Amino acid sequence: MAVRIRLFRRGRKKMAMYDIVVADARAPRDGRFIEKLGNYNPNTDPATIELNADRAFDWVMNGAQPSDTARTILSNRGVMLKKHLQIGVNKGAITQEAADKKLAAWMTEKDGKVTAIVDGLAKDKAADVKARFEAETKVKEARAEALLKKQSEMIAAEEAAAKKAEAEAAGDEGDEATEGEAVEASAETATEEAPAKEAAPEATTEEAPVEEAKTKEAAPEAATEEAPAEEAKAEETTPEATTKEATPEEAPAEEAAPEAATEEAPAAEKKEEKKD
């Protein structure tokens, strides 16, 4: 019966894990197996391998044929190298002690490489985490700076608005003050004009007697000056008037006057008779 060392699949979809088993070559992949040697998890970095190296060496020495993937796993764990050295020991080409030393040196070197790979991956992961953290920190700092700038702008705008409001309030107060001063000035001018108006009639009353006195003084003088002139004119005109009265035009007028008196007398008598 042909015996093979191969992988037995288990796990869920897209997260497969494998068991390293010894099974009949005619059995299906996930069918019955003879012995389980370990397991293999390719989902980790690096892949996780748990193997019973001594049992795997015995099966290999007894003629079990590993699959390609199983051979890689066995080589990684030094099983295939140990088989090679043991064949050399069996043939006498090398002693058991030399074979054990070579195997130990190879395993040490292999473990060192694996450790370096793991350390390198850890360092890369730590560097990646640090880079992400620094990037996030920069982003947070940029956001904080932007927020601080925005807040400072808002504060500056509020201060400007407050200053503008204060300036407007001061301007309104100044306008009110100027209006009050103008009102006070107008009231003062009104109060100053009122005594002036009161003083004006007094001045007119004081000036009026003076003017009357002047006119009175001037009037007699004018009368005295005009009187001789009138007397002179009267003296000149009297001879002429006497001559005109002596004219025959005034004589008929004097004759007509007694006739009018005689006509009015009978009219008055008639009125008295009617009254009686």
Residue 242: inside a domain, yes or no?
A: no
Q: What is the pLDDT of residue 133?
A: 92
Q: Are residues 117 and 133 in the same domain?
A: yes
Neighbouring CB atoms inside 10 A of 82's CB total: 23
Give the residue carrying structure tokens 């193997």.
51
Task: Give the CA radius of gyration of the chain.
Answer: 77
Amino acid at 34: I
d(CA 64, CA 104): 24
Domain termination residue (choose one: 30, 57, 91): 91
The tens digit of pLDDT for each residue in 209-236 reads: 445 544 444 444 444 444 444 444 444 4
Q: What is the pLDDT of residue 243?
A: 37
Residue 37: inside a domain, yes or no?
A: yes
Q: Are residues 75 and 139 in the same domain?
A: no
| CATH number assigned to the domain comprising residue 69 | 3.30.1320.10
Q: Are residues 21 and 102 in the same domain?
A: no
Q: Are residues 81 and 101 in the same domain?
A: no
Residue 107: inside a domain, yes or no?
A: yes
Q: What is the pLDDT of residue 129?
A: 92
Q: Are residues 86 and 131 in the same domain?
A: no
Q: What is the pLDDT of residue 64?
A: 92
Domain termination residue (choose one: 61, 91, 121): 91
Q: What is the pLDDT of residue 250?
A: 44
Say whether pLDDT at 120 is over 80: yes
d(CA 20, CA 90): 28
Structural domain containing residue 2 = 1-91
Residue 199: inside a domain, yes or no?
A: no
Domain termination residue (choose one: 63, 91, 119): 91
HEC secondary structure over 57-124? HHHHHCCCEECHHHHHHHHHCCHHHHHHHHHHHHHCCCCHHHHHHHHHHHHHHHHHHHHHHHHHHHHH
Q: Are residues 71 and 135 in the same domain?
A: no
The tens digit of pLDDT for each residue in 37-90 reads: 999 999 988 889 999 999 999 999 999 999 999 999 999 999 999 999 999 999
Q: Are residues 102 and 25 in the same domain?
A: no
Q: Are residues 148 and 128 in the same domain?
A: yes
Residue 270: inside a domain, yes or no?
A: no
Domain count, the chain: 2
Q: Are residues 77 and 11 in the same domain?
A: yes
Q: Are residues 106 and 25 in the same domain?
A: no
Token pair listed for 252: 């008929």
Q: What is the pLDDT of residue 221?
A: 47
